[in-house]
Amino acid sequence: MNYNNPNLIFNDIPSGKIGWSSPSNIALIKYWGKKDLQIPTNASLSFTLNNCQTETIIEFSPTYNDGCSIEFFLEGIPNKRFAEKTCLFFNRIASIFPFIKQLDFKIYSKNTFPHSAGIASSASGMSAIALILCDIENQYFNTFSNEEEFYKKASYIARLGSGSACRSIYGGLVSWGEINKGSNLYGSPVIDGVSDVFKNYHDSILIVDSEEKKVSSTVGHGLMNSNPFKNGRYNQASANISKLIDIIGKGDLNNFINIVESEALTLHAMMMTSLPYYLLMKPNTISIIERIWQFRNEKEIPVCFTLDAGPNIHLLYPHSYDDKVKIFIKNELLQFTSNNTVIHDRVGNGPQKLNL
């Protein structure tokens, strides 16, 4: 697959603005380790979230600059680091969207949740930008013959911004990688065979620490290349993803819990066994995990946790236990969070275009 297209060049360079909101996602089978350009070493699987969103508006106009011409405003404040990262992304996709070089960009973005803290702001942020660029192509070059083509390309582009962003392009359960006829190049929605219990699954995110993590995911992925356990991990992930898709089809909550918690702990085990080794979990992360296990054993309520590459706990549970779990969170878990912060989220329907 090659999206390079020298014809995507404006004759009359337009000015305009386009906005999209795009959600974060929580991986159940983790992507950790990459080869080549944003190609994963194993397939991954995630739930797209509903409330953890990035809202991005891009204003574009003709440029008089040769280089990358981006101003980035995060929550209204100029952010040079985000502008630089977006420039790297735009340079990477310049042969796919040659019109980028003809435009000045002002990017206004806000996240509904803390960024760079392991809640995948990179996924929501980069997927929103990818959708906007595809939308520029759609509006001015009219190249897509249907929605499926549009979203597939948006997912391909999002991956080049941040791997897991390719899964945020779709709602529900989404895979990325070579599983079920899927591809390493873009995400694919798992449309058939999701049991009802998982369609509106809850994810309450307990913010143990909202500080920027000390080791970025990019560095973490790189360290997998020399991790002595890497091959075992890649084989385990491949086996787990097939099993989990089957389990989600059957609505088998016990086995869901076993695989999802094992995946979370394995991800962090990879960090602990990298050289240099490091920890992203905090003491309060462990305290919450112990309380979850105790609560599950005593009350026989099927709650479980997963972790992204950060210290914050994603508490996963069926909608029917919502009231009981919220009481558990309030009485037992909030004490371990930073400023009593919890984001109640659930499986969502995917990105939306903003009416501007």
Residues that bind ligand ADP (CB under 6 A): 54, 56, 82, 85, 109, 111, 115-122, 125-126, 129, 216-217, 310
Element (H, E) at 176: strand 173-176
**Residue matched to tokens 């091959």:** 231
Dist CA 4 CA 277 (whole Å):
39
Please give the residue whose beta carbon sits closest to ligand ADP in the complex. 125
Indicate the SS3 state at residue 296.
Answer: helix
Least CB distance to ligand ADP at residue 128 (A)? 6
Least CB distance to ligand ADP at residue 116 (A)? 4
Dist CA 313 CA 337 (whole Å):
10
Q: How many Cβ atoms sit within 10 Å of the Cβ of residue 138? A: 18
Residue number, 132 or 333, with CB nearest to ligand ADP:
132
Residue number, 161 or 189, with CB nearest to ligand ADP:
161
Does the bond joining 6 to the residue before it have cis omega, within 30 degrees of 0? no
Residue number, 50 or 325, with CB nearest to ligand ADP:
50
Residue number, 83 or 179, with CB nearest to ligand ADP:
83
Least CB distance to ligand ADP at residue 86 (A)? 6
Residue number, 73 or 293, with CB nearest to ligand ADP:
73
Residue number, 194 or 309, with CB nearest to ligand ADP:
309
Element (H, E) at 104: strand 103-111
Output the DSSP codes for 1-68: -----TT---SS---EEEEEEEEEEEEEE----EETTTEESS-EEEEEEEEEEEEEEEEEEE---SS-
Residue number, 113 or 336, with CB nearest to ligand ADP:
113
Least CB distance to ligand ADP at residue 286 (A)? 20
Least CB distance to ligand ADP at residue 213 (A)? 6
CB-based contact 158:130 (threshold 8 Å): yes
Least CB distance to ligand ADP at residue 326 (A)? 25
Which stretches within the chain are classed as H helix? 80-92, 121-141, 147-161, 217-223, 230-250, 253-272, 283-299, 322-328
Least CB distance to ligand ADP at residue 107 (A)? 7
Closest by CA to 128, choosing from 225, 284, 24, is 24
